[in-house]
Amino acid sequence: MAKAVGTVLIDVERCKGCELCIPVCPPKVLEMSVEVNAIGFRYPILHPGCTGCELCAEICPDYCFEVFRESKSPAHGLGAEVSA
């Protein structure tokens, strides 16, 4: 089965550098930055390969992520649910 195609929009200014998103990402496309944001925290940088699985958004306590996914493509690891 072809891998899903997705991306995330990260509001890095909301991020508090907790790093909870890093290990939950299945394709491992999130990496903490070197630079810091306006409130002094490092934030996740997105590398290619995002599948739009939403796991980062689920775990982020600061609501930094918006997730995008190819139409009709199931979220990785979460069954067939797709939020419209």
Partner 1 sequence: MSDVHAENSPRSGMPVPDQEGLDKVFARSPLLGTNTHSLCPGCGEPNAVRVLMENIEEMGESENTICVLGIGCYTAFGALMEVDTQQAMHGRAPAQATGIKRVLPDRLVFTLQGDGDMITEGIQEVIHAAARGERITAVCLNNAAFGETGGHMTATSVIGQRTKSTLQGRDPAKHGYPIRLPEMLTGFEGVAYLARGSVHTPTHVKRTKKLLRAALETQKRGLGFSLVEVLTMCPTGWFVTPAEGPKFQQDNLLPAFPIGELKRPKGLEA
Interface residues with partner 1 (CB under 8 A) are: 5-14, 16-20, 22-24, 31, 33, 35, 41, 43, 45-48, 52, 54-55, 57-63, 65-71, 75, 78, 82-84
Q: Closest separation between CB of residue 57 and partner 1, Å?
A: 5
Please list, in sequence order, all residues whose beta carbon lies within 8 angstroms of the beta carbon of residue 81, skipping any fewer than 6 positions away.
74, 75
- Which residue number, 1 or 79, has a Cβ lying nearer to partner 1? 79
- Which residue number, 1 or 40, has a Cβ lying nearer to partner 1? 40
Residue 61 and residue 77: Cα distance in Å, rounded?
A: 20
CA atoms within 13 A on the CB side of 34: 0
List beta partners, residue 60. Answer: none
Q: Closest separation between CB of residue 1 and partner 1, Å?
A: 18
Q: Closest separation between CB of residue 75 and partner 1, Å?
A: 7
List beta partners, residue 30. Answer: 46
